């Protein structure tokens, strides 16, 4: 069993490359699933990385996954939101649905800024 930890791999990378990076990271963990257990702990602030992973789940669910794209199931990813509070740290688990969406609303409006800027 191996574990790799990566902190903010998206820093100074163009958004389009961040999406490709999400695919590469998924392949690095899921590509050898049958041969060896691998885990990745990814600390990110990148909306692009998260959205690409959700997209791949949705595409697999809808049977529209592009050739060569990583096959990701909701149970392959555990999204944990960590925030500082006066009394310490609050940890929120954000389960992912079969169709590639979050079951709960994202805390503190992390993805809401995009909507506010567009509309």
Split at pLDDT 50, 70, 90, the class of 38 is: confident
By percentage, how much of the chain surpasses pLDDT 70?
A: 87
Split at pLDDT 50, 70, 90, the class of 37 is: confident
Going by C-alpha positions, the residue among 28, 42, 34 that lies closest to residue 82 is 42
Instruction: Tally Cβ neighbours within 10 Å of residue 21.
Output: 19
Estimate to the nearest angstrom the gap between the alpha carbon of 119 and the chain centroid. 25
Going by C-alpha positions, the residue among 9, 77, 4, 6 that lies closest to residue 39 is 4
Mean pLDDT on 73-95: 93
Q: How many CA atoms lie within 13 A of 60 on its CB side?
A: 18
CB contact at 8 A, 51 and 45: no
pLDDT, mean over the chain: 88
List Cβ neighbours of 111 (8 Å cut-off, separation of 6 or more): 47
Mean pLDDT on 81-86: 91
Mean pLDDT on 22-31: 91
Answer yes or no: is pLDDT of 32 > 90: no
Answer yes or no: is pLDDT of 8 > 90: yes
Which pTM value belongs to this model? 0.86
Bin 100: left if φ > 0, else alpha if -120 < ψ < 50, else beta. left
């Amino acid at each position: 069993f191996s574990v790799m930890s990566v902190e903010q791999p998206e820093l100074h990378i163009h958004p389009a490359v961040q999406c490709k990076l999400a695919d590469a990271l998924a392949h690095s963990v899921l590509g050898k699933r049958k041969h060896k257990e691998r885990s990745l702990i990814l600390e990110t602030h990148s909306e692009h990385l998260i959205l690409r992973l959700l997209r791949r789940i949705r595409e697999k669910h809808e049977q529209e996954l592009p050739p060569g794209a990583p096959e990701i199931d909701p149970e392959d990813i555990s999204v944990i939101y960590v925030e500082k509070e006066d009394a310490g740290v609050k940890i929120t688990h954000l389960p992912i649905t079969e169709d590639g969406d979050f079951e709960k609303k994202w805390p503190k409006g992390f993805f809401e800024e995009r909507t506010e800027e567009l509309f």
